Structure formats: structure tokens, C-alpha cells
A and B are shown apart, each in its own frame.
Chain A
Amino acid sequence: QQQVKQSPQSLIVQKGGISIINCAYENTAFDYFPWYQQFPGKGPALLIAIRPDVSEKKEGRFTISFNKSAKQFSLHIMDSQPGDSATYFCAASMLTGRRALTFGSGTRLQVQP
């Protein structure tokens, strides 16, 4: 049972464009929603995260939008750069109790120069 659904599977964006990745979750007990970035041959690294008490969080060029009623959240990468080319994973967890991350299936982003 996939509790976090992620789309698209792959994304090609021109340099300077906006990259948008969407996720939907099922378990309403989740209360922490991080995005991880993974480069080839490396482990995932936290990019940005949000809690459901806010609808948006921005850090530099990266923004998470969160819709609690729809159980959806998305990552927006503004002014996408070739260095942003990586695989992005949304995830969800509970800050108390089961703290392990439930990951989406990943989005491979290619930013073309």
C-alpha cells in the first residue's frame, strides 16, 4: 500500500524555469512532510520540510505548498538550475510514535542549460 503518491515520475525543465512536483498522502496521522534531494551515488539529503499548521514554507528558491484538506503538498523550485538536476522524494512521518519516513516514488528532475 503506497501511502504517499508522487508525480511526475520525471521532469525536464529549462534553466530558469519553474519545477513543480506533487505529492498526496493518505494517512491523516502524518504531521511532518519533508522533501529530500538525492544525487547519483549519494544518500538522500533534506531539502525543505513543512508541518501541517502552515500552508506554505519558502527557503531560497524552494517552496513547499501544503493543502491539509486535500491531503496534498508540492515542491516548487524557482529559477531552476542545472545543479538542481537530481531525484526528489517527498516523504511523510509522525513526529511522535512512528518516526520512520514513508517516501514517495521519486521524481527525476533534469534542468537543461
Chain B
Amino acid sequence: DTAVSQTPKYLVTQMGNDKSIKCEQNLGHDTMYWYKQDSKKFLKIMFSYNNKELIINETVPNRFSPKSPDKAHLNLHINSLELGDSAVYFCASSRPGARGETQYFGPGTRLLVL
């Protein structure tokens, strides 16, 4: 049983195309995230949703638009893809706790823009 799943796992596309990545979690968490991992392995937050409400939008270009149809799903749509968008995109989910908060990451979507 996969806790956080993402589709597709790999995405190869041409510059200028529009693509979507889907994420689903079956952990009952109320908060979901999108992180981007660049070619140097650096991980950076892009968006955070809590109960379907956007709470963090980390200076990401407007071409990136997250959508959360319900608490268990957070999708990422990217318009007019650019070469610099090539990266691994990770979805994560968590539930707040007084002593700690484990974020569970999906397996990642490897996006290559040609």
C-alpha cells in the first residue's frame, strides 16, 4: 500500500508544452506539499495546501498552478514548459503534531524538458 503516490514517474516533453503531475495520499493527512529537486539534488518547497487551501506559494512562476480537488489529492499543472523546469518533483503529505511532524514523500516525477 503506497502512502503517497505520484503519476507519472517519468515525463519527457518538448519546450512550450503543458503537462500535469498527479499526487494522491492515503494517510488521511490534511496538508500536502510540492517540492522541486534540481540537478544538484537541492530540495525546495514550491507549494503547500492545508485542507484544500493554498497556504504557501514560494515565488514559483505563474506557469505552475497547483490544484487540490480534495484533501487526498494535490495536482501540479505546468504551462509553457521551459528547459529550466527539468527536475524531479516530489509530492509530500503530513499531519501536524505537538512533538514533531513527519512529512511522507512520494517517489517523485522526473521531468525532462527538451
Footprint of B on A, CB under 8 Å? 32, 34, 36, 41-46, 49, 51, 87, 89, 93, 95-96, 98-103, 105-106, 108
Contact = CB atoms under 8 A, between A and B. Distances in A.
A93 B99 CA distance: 12
Nearest to B103: A101
B48 interface: yes
B94 A51 contact: no
A92 B56 CA distance: 16
B56 A95 contact: no
Interface string B58-99: 100000000000000000000000000000001010101111
Contacts of B105: 36, 43-45
Interface string B1-20: 00010000000000000000
Nearest to A87: B41
A100 B48 contact: yes
A107 B108 CA distance: 19
B86 to A, nearest CB: 16
B106 A43 contact: yes
Given A101-B45, A106-B41, A32 B90 contact: no
Contacts of A49: 100, 102
